[in-house]
Amino acid sequence: MSQICRKRRLQAGVDAAAGPVRYRKSPGFDGLLSRDQDAMKRYSVFAVAREAARYHSGWERAWASPEPKRKYDVIIVGAGGHGLATAYYLGKNFGITNVAIIEKGWLGGGNTGRNTTIIRSNYLQDPSAAIYEKARSLYETMSQDLNYNVMFSPRGVMMLAQTQHEIRGYQRTAHANQLQGVETRFISPAEVKKLVPIINLDGPRYPVLGALWQPRGGTARHDAVAWGYARACSDMGMHVIQKCEVTGVRSEGGKVVGVDTTKGPIDCDKLGMVTAGHIGTNAAMAGFRLPVESLCLQALVSEPIKPCMDVVVMANTVHGYMSQSDKGEMVIGGGTDGFNNYTQRGSFHHIEETVRALVETFPMVSRLKMLRQWGGIVDMTGDRSPILSKTPVEGIFVNCGWGTGGFKAIPGSGWAMAELMAKGHSPLTEEFSMFRFREGRFIDESVAAGVAH
């Protein structure tokens, strides 16, 4: 296309390469419109073919890395899955796009990139089932909504019953799930064996007596979830600011007015704190305390092997769970450390305990070599249920306390947190206030969760 034709098309508001030209108000010039960046190019089979023809030289950055502005309507501290999802739904559902997502490290470098990617919603209590089922349903259409393949795999999640107590607990949960509209059922040992041929039903200590089965549970690619949300947020004009640590929270007259960062002070009208294991430190900067404690949760993957297990299996009695990734690795996780800490490294004794327990149920894993291990900092509440809440400081909201199960909740958490911040209330967050501990309104998930989550 000639330069003259291209210029005429631009004047008409259409870019020859990227479709319609988008205009936004320029900061500081009321009413003046300027051409900002072209609309985000959609990923498709045609885009892949086009880029293959030109040696993949035309791919653009998935999200921008701007310098922070002086003020935003909303600042989200924490560019993990929950923080990015909150920002995305603020824009999508409420049109709030003057938003900064601030991350002290790199995007998705915390627990979002350090988990075992299990997605399920088979919880006992109604508030828990509601927010987790909202998240699970959003995962099913996330790739289409974000135009980014998050590799959601509804392969099914199985929670083994290996004691009589667990049988009663899971049967109770299955009945509760039916009333909540969550599709689960309790299955027999024979059905377990049919779904997972490599399992040993007759373990000497903990035989498999059945399982709570959720066929629409599964896994997704954790990094892709963060990247997809970041790309969509950037396309709406939000600022994803990495390598920017919050060092202080400023308030006047009991209302938040901004934060101090390593890139200078930034003002805001509302502040969302979504920083998982570091949430207690952030709350202290704002002048209040949260009923949470931080611990390390460890996981590992084996060397890759041929496909042998196409469901997720959780064995809560022995504190272990396992699935097989698309690369063939056996992804294995267990419980948290027994003491408070902020480490992101694994330890030999904890991995040994987890694998020793799983070997009895899955004898074949005894012959595998460990490929790598890691740890993540999780934030635990007293009742092992999350906090999505207003705080004693007006304009500050917190999203924390997801324990070891934060990944499965990302889209539902973001949806609910965005509604809470935009409207001041949300049906999904009403029971998860931080003040419930003072009032004695606990949401006990000890049976449905088995482990911390």
pLDDT in tens, 139-162: 999 999 999 999 999 999 999 999
pLDDT at 32: 28
Ranges of beta strands (E only) in 153-203 are: 157-161, 185-187
166: confidence class by pLDDT, cuts 50, 70, 90: very high
- pLDDT at res. 120: 96
Which two tokens mark 263? 């890139």
Closest CA to 438 of 383, 393, 398: 383
Q: Which of 301, 385, 446, 358 is nearest to 162 (CA)?
A: 358
Domain with CATH 3.50.50.60 in the chain: 71-106+223-290+384-449
Measured between alpha carbons, how far is 402 from 399 in angstroms, rounded to an integer? 8
pLDDT of residue 319 exceeding 90: no
pLDDT at 316 over 60: yes
- The three-class DSSP label of residue 381 is strand
In whole numbers, what is the pLDDT of the chain averaged over residues? 88
Tens of pLDDT, residue by residue over 391-400, are 999 999 999 9
**Class of the CATH-defined domain 118-221+293-381:** alpha beta
Model confidence at 451: pLDDT above 80: no
> CATH 3.30.9.10 spans which residues of the chain?
118-221+293-381
Amino acid at 7: K
| Whole-number Å distance between alpha carbons of 2 and 379 | 58
What does DSSP say about strands 33-35 and 23-25: parallel, antiparallel, or unpaired? antiparallel
Radius of gyration of the chain (CA): 23
pTM exceeding 0.85: yes
Structure tokens at 68: 């922070």
Spatial separation of the C-alpha atoms in residues 16 and 5, rounded to whole Å? 9
- Environment class of residue 332 by beta-carbon count within 10 Å: exposed (0-12), middle (13-18) or buried (19+)? buried
Say if CB 209 and CB 161 are below 8 A apart: yes
Percent of the chain predicted with pLDDT > 70:
90
Query: What does the pLDDT average to over 168-176?
Result: 95
Q: Which pLDDT does position 350 carry in this prediction?
A: 79
Q: DSSP characters for 206-273?
A: S---EEEEETT-EE--HHHHHHHHHHHHHHTT-EEE-S--EEEEEEETTEEEEEEETTEEEEEEEEEE
- CA–CA separation, 304 vs 450, rounded Å? 28
Q: How confident is the model at residue 453 (pLDDT cuts 50, 70, 90)?
A: very low
Q: What is the pLDDT of residue 38?
A: 53
Please give the single-letter amino acid code of residue 196. Answer: V
What six digits make up the tokens of 110?
A: 């915390």
Tens digit of each residue's pLDDT (9 = 90 or more) over 5-43: 433 333 333 333 333 333 333 333 233 222 334 567 889
Report helix angle 222-235 to 81-94, nearest 10: 40
Give the up-direction half-sphere exposure of residue 121: CA atoms within 13 A in the CB hemisphere. Answer: 29
> 218, 217, 219, 225: which is closest to 112 by C-alpha?
225
Tokens of 332: 């294995």
From CA 219, how far away is CA 95, in angstroms rounded?
30
- d(CA 250, CA 254) in angstroms, rounded, equals 10
CATH class of 71-106+223-290+384-449: alpha beta
Better-scored residue on pLDDT, 137 or 10? 137
pLDDT at position 39 is 65
